[in-house]
């Protein structure tokens, strides 16, 4: 099994923890952790720890596959964003959106492996993609909240091996999340533009058909069906009389109301994103 090298910057003695090891985890990583899997090691990160974990090794390998694609996609976002307002349908087929699902799968692995690290065999199965949320899997997400390494808080490293692994899983999560968020925001912008264009087009067609229906109703002959007192029925067709022309016709509302906006979600079909 490969050794995992984890680097931390020295921290001062803590007023509550004394000389015992502790860490403050923030998104800018003031003390670390640092690992060659996602970036260079600062020269002042002189505390070195070696971890042995098969799941962590697999997670870091997956990170090295996903992260470069996320970073490359982030460099293209300004170009795609510029075209999203005028050509959102074309922008929706951008290859960068294909990085979303592998990244989200790795985030799910980070959550599940952190829970498994603490609860072992009592860990519930990893929820499926459709059920991986607080509404459908509240029990699992409660355990995620209990085991994820806390952010923005000084934490004592009590069980050094377990706590450092929790720290590393949470850091992998943060690194992926930082690369994924701009792509998700871009997709939301593209989806909004597609929705706006779609509903404007549908409303335009609806208004045209409605006005055509009103015009056609005024110009078309009326058909009247009357039933005679005998066993036979007669059908008479006549054009509108001059007297009826002077009558006020009820005018239907020419504005067609359509349902409110719906969210457009990406689904991968044959390697492309389909707007459903």
Q: For the chain, which residues make up each domain, given as ranges?
A: 4-193
d(CA 71, CA 55): 24
Which pLDDT value is given to residue 265? 42
Q: Which of 18, 1, 24 is nearest to 9 (CA)?
A: 24
User: Model confidence over 76-94: pLDDT tens digits?
Assistant: 999 999 888 788 888 899 9
CB atoms within 10 A of CB 170: 20
Average pLDDT of span 96-114: 96
Cβ 247 vs Cβ 181: under 8 Å:
no
Cβ 61 vs Cβ 35: under 8 Å:
no
Which pLDDT value is given to residue 199? 72
pLDDT at residue 266 above 90? no
Average pLDDT of span 128-152: 90
Which pLDDT value is given to residue 214? 53
d(CA 263, CA 100): 17
Please report which helix (H) or strand (E) contains residue 186, including its range: helix 160-219
How many residues are present in the chain? Answer: 276
Beta strand spans in the chain (E): 4-8, 22-24, 47-51, 154-156, 222-227, 233-238, 266-269, 272-275
Please report which helix (H) or strand (E) contains residue 73, including its range: helix 54-84
d(CA 209, CA 114): 58
On average, the pLDDT of the chain sits at 79
d(CA 189, CA 86): 12
Percent of the chain with pLDDT over 90: 57
Query: Residue 18: which region, alpha, beta or left (left: phi > 0; alpha: psi -120 to 50)?
Result: left
Which pLDDT value is given to residue 271? 42
User: Model confidence over 208-256: pLDDT tens digits?
Assistant: 556 555 555 555 544 444 444 444 433 343 434 444 444 333 333 333 2
CB atoms within 10 A of CB 124: 13
User: Model confidence over 152-206: pLDDT tens digits?
Assistant: 999 999 999 999 999 999 999 999 999 999 999 999 999 888 888 877 766 665 5
pLDDT at residue 61 above 90? yes
d(CA 23, CA 38): 19
Q: Which residues pair with 12 in a beta bridge?
A: none
User: Model confidence over 40-55: pLDDT tens digits?
Assistant: 999 999 999 999 999 9
Confidence of residue 131 (pLDDT cuts 50, 70, 90): confident
d(CA 204, CA 202): 5
């Amino acid at each position: 099994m490969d050794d995992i090298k984890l680097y931390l910057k020295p921290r001062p003695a803590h007023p509550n923890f004394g000389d015992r090891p502790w860490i403050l985890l923030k998104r800018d990583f003031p003390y670390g952790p640092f690992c060659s899997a996602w970036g260079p090691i600062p020269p002042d990160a002189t505390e070195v720890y070696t971890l042995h974990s098969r799941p962590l090794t697999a997670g870091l390998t997956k990170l090295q596959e996903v992260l470069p694609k996320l970073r490359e996609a982030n460099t293209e976002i300004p170009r795609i964003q510029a075209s999203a307002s005028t050509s959102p349908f074309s922008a929706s087929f951008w290859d960068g959106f294909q990085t979303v699902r592998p990244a989200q799968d790795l985030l799910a692995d980070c959550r599940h492996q952190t829970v498994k690290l603490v609860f072992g065999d009592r860990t519930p199965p990893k929820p499926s993609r459709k059920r991986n949320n607080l509404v459908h899997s509240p029990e699992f997400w409660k355990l995620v909240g209990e085991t994820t390494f806390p952010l923005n808080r000084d934490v004592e490293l009590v069980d050094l091996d377990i706590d450092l692994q929790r720290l590393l899983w949470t850091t992998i999560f943060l690194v992926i999340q930082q690369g994924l968020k701009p792509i998700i925001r871009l997709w939301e912008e593209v989806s909004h533009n597609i929705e706006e264009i779609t509903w404007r087009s549908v409303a335009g067609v609806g208004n045209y058909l409605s006005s055509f229906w009103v015009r056609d109703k005024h110009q078309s002959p009326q058909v009247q069906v009357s039933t005679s007192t005998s066993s036979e029925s007669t059908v008479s067709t006549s054009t509108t009389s001059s007297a009826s022309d002077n009558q006020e016709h009820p005018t239907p509302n020419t504005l067609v109301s359509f349902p409110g906006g719906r969210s457009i979600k990406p689904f991968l079909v044959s390697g492309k994103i389909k707007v459903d």
